[in-house]
Structure 1
Amino acid sequence: MKGYIKRQPWLVWLSTVFILVVVIGVIVSSTAWGANIMRQGRSLYYHYVPQAGTEARYVRQLVTPDMAHSRIIMWETSKATEEPVVLYKEAGASDSTIQSVPATMDTLQEDKVVRYIYRAELTQLEPNKTYEYQVGQNVITNDWHTLQTVDHRNFVALVFPDSQSADYRGWHELVETAYTKNPEATFFVNMGDLVDNGESASQWDAWFDAVEPMIANIPLAGVIGNHEYYSLDWQMKEPTAFDTFFKFAAPTAKPDSKQLGDSSRRAFYSYDYGDVHFVVLNTQFQEMNDTYREAVQAEQLAWLEADLANTKQPWKVVLMHRDPFRYPHTKAPNTVPGINEIGDMFMPTFEKYKVDLVLSAHYHMYRRRGHVENFERSATGPYYIVTGVAGDVKYANIWMDHPLDEYKSPYLDGDNYLVLRKQANSLMVEAYLADGTHFDSVILTK
């Protein structure tokens, strides 16, 4: 018959084998053991054929509202990764038990640097477990990180004041000292002004380099500061880098929402650890754009009321960058010490819902005010501490006294960090210099 082309037997055989492999692959990959076999195969392939630019950088954990059952994992690459995932299992368990959670990808392009940033939320964790996890292309490597879901009332956390620097080597040494001396720490806080310029790629790289490997093994509770809103030319801009690097589980803005002002909305949130409820505020209203400033302020105040009213935890701690106290300083010695607009805005709510401890930053000094209620010294009321400085930008000898100060650090040029210790019915705050010198502590009980 004209036009008929006889198929070669080898071609028919190859097509049949190909179809059979595809069918078997689909069936096998739909089972847990099959998925593990497929993953092992991909792992072997990528081991011998590495993909340049897809190596995970700056792997990090973020706090979530329910720290006993969930965790946010983020990382970045210099080249986009297809089908990014987080793989996790209980520590020491067989690879056949690995669970896979897909990640979303966002792109950040600032300061002539392009970053591909990934985010996944693990929501099926069990309390009081130690897990191992890794990130990337759904292949198994040796890069396992630790994740713990401790759910009891005793814990240790590290609190770092403003870390903005010209040279981040000092910040690196401070972090290393704090983490080495407190290996039992279960999370850490950075109190805002993480970097000196929020658009500088090199400064963010230096910050991340300093907190590795701590940030991969214990989660961060990040507080936004005014310097996160600065552009390279020191003008106000959206805090795009901070917002993209740290996509917390915010109450009024979804991780992928793009409404004007959402980068500021995602900077206030809350989380529980043990029987302590932590509230993280965004106090940077001065830096916000006029078009959404009042809306974000009103939303945050309404959320704060509801959040504090609804928590069932007996302890309440507030983390905020701008301090609520107004201080005279050497450039404005006639300033009357008192309470500033941030204090007027938030302190009555703290008192109404019996907040126990308020930690702030911004002034680059360490001072304790004790219990303050109705803007006056009190035997009760929230306990206020401005946490000091962790970077090399110092304001030594600038700040003058405040009548509500109970203690001020004599180490005006010293970097410091705090250790928050929760034990039974007490909450202790201890202050340390970079060399480990202990210089202050306070214990709250109930």
Structure 2
Amino acid sequence: MKQEKSLLDLFQETNKGISRRLFLETCGASLVAAALPINLTKVFAADAVASAGHLTLTWSLDPKTTQTIAWSTAENSEKGSLQVIKTSIYKKSGWEKAVTIEADHELFKTNTENVMLHYATAVSLKPGTIYTYRVKIDDKWSEPLQFSTQPDKEDSFKFLVFGDSQSGLPKNPEYGPWKKTINNAYAAHPDAAFFMNVGDLVEVGQDYAHWKNWYAAAKDVIDKIPSMSVPGNHETYDVPEENHSVLPLYFKKQLHLPMNGPEALKGQVYSFDYGNTHFAVLDSQLEEEHSYVDHMLELQANWLDQDLTASKQEWKIVLFHKTPYYNKATRSNEQVKAVLTPVLDKHHVDLVINGHDHGYSRTYPIYQDTFVDAPAKGTVYLVSGRSGNKYYTDLSPKVWDAFFHDPQAEPNYVTITVNQKVLTINAYTQSGELIDVYSIDKQKQVDIPRTSLPEPSNNTLLVIWGNLLQTPLVAVPPQKISGIWHIPLRSFIEFIGGKIDGDSEGNIIASYQKTTVLLKLNATQANLNREAHTLTYPLTLLKGTAMISVDDIKTMFAFQSRYDKAMNMLFMVK
């Protein structure tokens, strides 16, 4: 077949006095499109190229041999099609030898408009190959784009990780910060094979205005590399009430992910392999979804146990939104931690990635809720920070953090590179400043920087919500009295945000949230919310400080306690 002359050739034949550089600067994108072996008149016809509402790559099947593509159009659009061809062939003969796949489609009735969703999966692709694709909308084709399949033997790969990209404003779908973060990240790391957003993609999950702006912000990335996302609590929020939760319908309708999770959570919980790494994605939204899915955490724990047992991959990475090891001031996720971490410990998951707190932190390796001195002995938990507009002002490093960064000044993102037996985490600010570097080398059985646990204190340390209380916050450290741990009552109440008053006769009034208790030194009788209450142990005076047992703290204020002998720390959390 005779090769058509490019627009550049034609232009230079008739305009020999104009330099190539000037031509490129003035024609820019038109040159790229026109140089392709397609009809030139269609390139410049404004109504001849279809424009999808959004175009998104995901994997629902094997990344080596398949690619799933989803797009949206107006509600009255015809059923769409996908065309795929090896880029090397496309450069020679255009779309002549392309494979055409008829898309599935579904009318999606949203809160703002009705749209037609189309999705198709190209199969029987060659591993390690660049493909060119386009989608058909009514009788028009979109501009050509490219994707790459996973190589058959992937010795090294990189993927991007984004924390919460939400706007932070329920009534204002502002995704400018997310646009800058994802585009800066991809521009700096064009070799990334895919990206993962660790939940709270949007502010209001059942508000299509937020999704449209999220897609628009990410459009130059999500159509080039797959997005393998994690559901967050904001994906469950309904319209118009931010705190009214439903199942994440909009998330599941639009993002076509592997359907290998538990039956009740398909499309929200899934796993896949890439290279020598196994990825498992969970849904941690117990508070928001428990009324829709019975025993949802236990269901996932059982599934995860089977999923990890079946995996023979070198690396195991698990992602879910809410944080077992958090960096918010007083927000813990104890049920999520209690149900899921035993499975993570059992299978020695290498890395757990979370979102939710909008801070960046990396823990010491942890096994059975205890810090260990090497990643070979435990799991590293990474809180990924924020990639969008919303930030918190009450973040702080916790006792389990080997590294902490507060991204109030600007959003951040993470890259993770797996090179055979070495996994490397790099965290960057939105503008590209390196925040953190950490690697695990399984071959040499070391991590860099080396894990260095804090030396145990001679006195038992009091830790509340992961925060270490020291002098002058704690006048007297936790003490065992008659074999039971006691803590300074005033230090505890004031730190958790309660109020405490006393008189010269030994009467003490302590209040926190909806609980008010009247206590008396050396007495086992108390008044709890105006009702008689018997303490397990009498309130004791030690070095001028009223000490109360952790058992009574649990009964009155619902705080759990755990003593860590290795670190000589008494942990308390609600």
TM-score, length of structure 2 as denominator length? 0.64
- Secondary structure of 2:364's counterpart equals strand
Partner of 2:207: 200
AA of the residue aligned to 1:195: V
AA of the residue aligned to 1:178: A
- For 1:49 and 1:375, how far apart are their aligned partners in 2? 60
- For 2:431 and 2:197, how far apart are their aligned partners in 1? 19
C-alpha displacement of 1:271:
1.1
- For 2:177 and 2:196, how far apart are their aligned partners in 1? 18
- Secondary structure of 1:115's counterpart equals strand
Deviation track 1:102-159 (CA, whole Å, cap 9, x = no partner) reads 2111222222211111111222111011101111258674611111013212111111
Residue 415 (structure 2) pairs with residue 416 (structure 1): no
Partner of 1:356: 350
Residue 386 (structure 2) pairs with residue 389 (structure 1): yes
AA of the residue aligned to 2:385: G
Partner of 1:406: 402
- For 1:80 and 1:425, how far apart are their aligned partners in 2? 51
C-alpha displacement of 1:281:
0.8
Partner of 1:429: 425
Q: Pairwise CA RMSD of aligned residues?
A: 2.7
- For 1:382 and 1:395, how far apart are their aligned partners in 2? 26
C-alpha displacement of 1:197:
0.8
C-alpha distance 50-401 of structure 1, shift in aligned 2 (>3 A): closer
% same residue: 26
Residue 75 (structure 2) pairs with residue 79 (structure 1): yes
- Secondary structure of 2:200's counterpart equals coil
Q: Is the 8 A contact 1:87 1:138 kept in 2?
A: no
- Secondary structure of 1:213's counterpart equals helix
- For 2:326 and 2:426, how far apart are their aligned partners in 1? 24
Q: How does 1:307-326 map to 2 (within 5 A)?
A: 307-325=307-325
- For 1:359 and 1:73, how far apart are their aligned partners in 2? 26
AA of the residue aligned to 1:435: S
C-alpha displacement of 1:326:
5.5
- Alignment match of 1:171 (pick from 175, 178, 190): 178
Q: How does 1:362-377 map to 2 (within 5 A)?
A: 362-377=356-371
- Secondary structure of 2:238's counterpart equals coil
Q: Which has the higher contact order (CA 8 A, sep 6+)?
A: 1
Structure 2 residues not aligned, in runs of 5+: 1-40, 443-574
Q: Which has the higher helix share?
A: 1
AA of the residue aligned to 2:439: I
C-alpha distance 328-223 of structure 1, shift in aligned 2 (>3 A): closer
Deviation track 1:68-118 (CA, whole Å, cap 9, x = no partner) reads 111211000013433422110000313222111221112222222111111
Deviation track 1:210-269 (CA, whole Å, cap 9, x = no partner) reads 111110110001100000111122211231111111121221478xxxxxxx5x431111
Q: How does 1:40-439 map to 2 (within 5 A)?
A: 55-93=51-89, 94=93, 95-137=95-137, 141=141, 143-151=143-151, 152-165=154-167, 166=169, 167-232=174-239, 233-234=241-242, 235-252=244-261, 262=264, 264-294=265-295, 296-325=296-325, 329=329, 332=330, 340-378=334-372, 379=374, 380-396=377-393, 398-439=394-435
Q: Is the 8 A contact 2:258 2:272 kept in 1?
A: no
- For 1:414 and 1:340, how far apart are their aligned partners in 2? 29
AA of the residue aligned to 1:57: G
- Secondary structure of 1:100's counterpart equals strand
C-alpha displacement of 1:440:
0.5
Deviation track 1:283-315 (CA, whole Å, cap 9, x = no partner) reads 112111514232x43432222111111112111
Deviation track 1:146-179 (CA, whole Å, cap 9, x = no partner) reads 1101321211111100011142111111111111
- For 1:140 and 1:147, how far apart are their aligned partners in 2? 21
AA of the residue aligned to 2:251: F
Q: Is the 8 A contact 1:168 1:210 kept in 2?
A: yes
Q: Is the 8 A contact 1:195 1:204 kept in 2?
A: yes
C-alpha displacement of 1:399:
3.1
Deviation track 1:390-445 (CA, whole Å, cap 9, x = no partner) reads 1121112x134422111111544331000111223211110000111101111011
- For 1:80 and 1:169, how far apart are their aligned partners in 2? 30
Partner of 1:29: none
Partner of 2:498: none
Structure 1 residues not aligned, in runs of 5+: 1-43, 255-261
Q: Is the 8 A contact 2:327 2:361 kept in 1?
A: no
- Secondary structure of 2:100's counterpart equals strand
C-alpha distance 253-55 of structure 1, shift in aligned 2 (>3 A): farther
Q: Is the 8 A contact 1:65 1:270 kept in 2?
A: no
AA of the residue aligned to 2:427: A
Q: Is the 8 A contact 1:55 1:136 kept in 2?
A: no
- Secondary structure of 1:135's counterpart equals strand
- Secondary structure of 2:416's counterpart equals strand
C-alpha distance 174-400 of structure 1, shift in aligned 2 (>3 A): closer
AA of the residue aligned to 1:245: Q
Partner of 1:21: none
Q: How many residues align?
A: 389
AA of the residue aligned to 2:388: G
TM-score, length of structure 1 as denominator length? 0.81
C-alpha distance 328-173 of structure 1, shift in aligned 2 (>3 A): closer
C-alpha distance 109-92 of structure 1, shift in aligned 2 (>3 A): same
AA of the residue aligned to 2:304: L
Deviation track 1:182-226 (CA, whole Å, cap 9, x = no partner) reads 111110111100011112222111110111111011000110000
Q: Is the 8 A contact 2:135 2:142 kept in 1?
A: no
- For 1:426 and 1:204, how far apart are their aligned partners in 2? 36
Partner of 2:441: 445
Structure 1 runs (4+) greater than 6 angstroms displaced:
none
AA of the residue aligned to 2:280: V
C-alpha distance 117-352 of structure 1, shift in aligned 2 (>3 A): same
C-alpha distance 302-269 of structure 1, shift in aligned 2 (>3 A): same
C-alpha distance 424-284 of structure 1, shift in aligned 2 (>3 A): same
